[in-house]
Amino acid sequence: MRTQCSKLLPMALVALLAACATAPTGRSQFILVSDADMDRMGASAFDQIKAGGKLAKDPARQRQLRCITDALVAVLPPEHRGKAWEVVLVQDDNPNAFALPGGKVGVHTGLFKVATDQDQLAAVVGHELGHVVSRHAAERVSQQFAAETALNVLNSATGGERQQLLGLLGVGAQAGVLLPFSRRHESEADLLGQRYMAQAGFDPQAAATVWENMVRATGGNRVPAFLSTHPDPEARIKVLRASAPGLMATRDQARTAGRRPNCR
């Protein structure tokens, strides 16, 4: 199978080599924008969300989310641990969450209806951190724009172009507008998030449980936003359930090493 990069051979060789990257899963990626530019864009999107007046005032849940995020960030690759991670609770009944480049995490209040304990919440936050570590937003920006267009938009980031760019990050101008990543990206984020959970001392079995809860919460009438990019939600759950036993030893090692999250 040809990689994304091999499909771009007509481009100048130097540009091609600069654009080729590798995801944590080993998959070849085509990325034209720098991490610094993506961090700046993520911070801009996060500022818009906070300015929208939809932040929830719930100190207990905010502390719990901070605790969970800190535990997960502590096991991320070194270049991500040093960021000034910021976490907000968004007043929105949709069970959803997001993480943006630059260390920005948002969780909807509606998520607490389906994620009923710290491990299930960690599964969702870990999934979103998987998107960030895998540079999925940068990959989507690069696929959408040619190099010159992408850089021009990043530098201007105003008006309609700004809204389009925020959409590529996976979040619209309003906190409640979350746009799905591709199926491949979602699958990568699922498995990376579950791995981070185990490394941080959370129960990796909760990853399948929270998605089961999401499907159950809809009564089978519609697919939840988190599952919308997959053709078969049950297949996604099956993969997470099957991978959990192999991660239990990792979780036990983490707890033996003192990583015992207590984010109640």
Q: Mean pLDDT for each consecutive 10-residue tract of the chain (264 residues)?
A: 42 50 82 88 90 91 97 96 93 92 94 96 96 89 60 54 56 45 84 97 97 80 50 80 97 97 93
Q: Do the Cβ atoms of 114 and 133 come closer than 8 Å?
A: no
Phi, psi values for residue 55, rounded to 5°:
-75, 135
- Are residues 117 and 179 part of one domain? yes
- Are residues 25 and 130 part of one domain? no
Q: Tell me, what amino acid is at 261?
A: P
- Are residues 51 and 107 part of one domain? yes
- Are residues 55 and 40 part of one domain? yes
Residue 262 lies in a domain: no
Residue 261 lies in a domain: no
Residue 264 lies in a domain: no
Phi-psi map region of 170: left, alpha, beta (phi>0 left; psi -120 to 50 alpha): left
* Number of domains forming the structure of the chain: 2
- Are residues 52 and 14 part of one domain? no
pLDDT of residue 11: 42
Rounded Cα–Cα distance for residues 56 and 178 (Å): 17
Please tell me the pTM assigned to this model: 0.79
Rounded Cα–Cα distance for residues 56 and 92 (Å): 9
- Catalytic residue list contains 128: yes
- Are residues 209 and 245 part of one domain? yes
pLDDT of residue 90: 95
The catalytically annotated residue of 86, 128, 148, 234 is 128
Residue 222 lies in a domain: yes
- Are residues 41 and 22 part of one domain? no
- Are residues 77 and 185 part of one domain? yes
Per the structure, the complete domain to which residue 138 belongs is given by 35-256
pLDDT of residue 152: 59
pLDDT of residue 145: 63
Rounded Cα–Cα distance for residues 235 and 75 (Å): 27
pLDDT of residue 26: 82
- Are residues 26 and 40 part of one domain? no
Residue 253 tokens read as: 């090692």
- Are residues 140 and 64 part of one domain? yes
- Are residues 122 and 6 part of one domain? no
**Residue ranges in 20-135 assigned as alpha helix (H):** 35-51, 59-73, 78-81, 118-133
What's the first-to-final CA gap in the chain, in angstroms?
A: 46
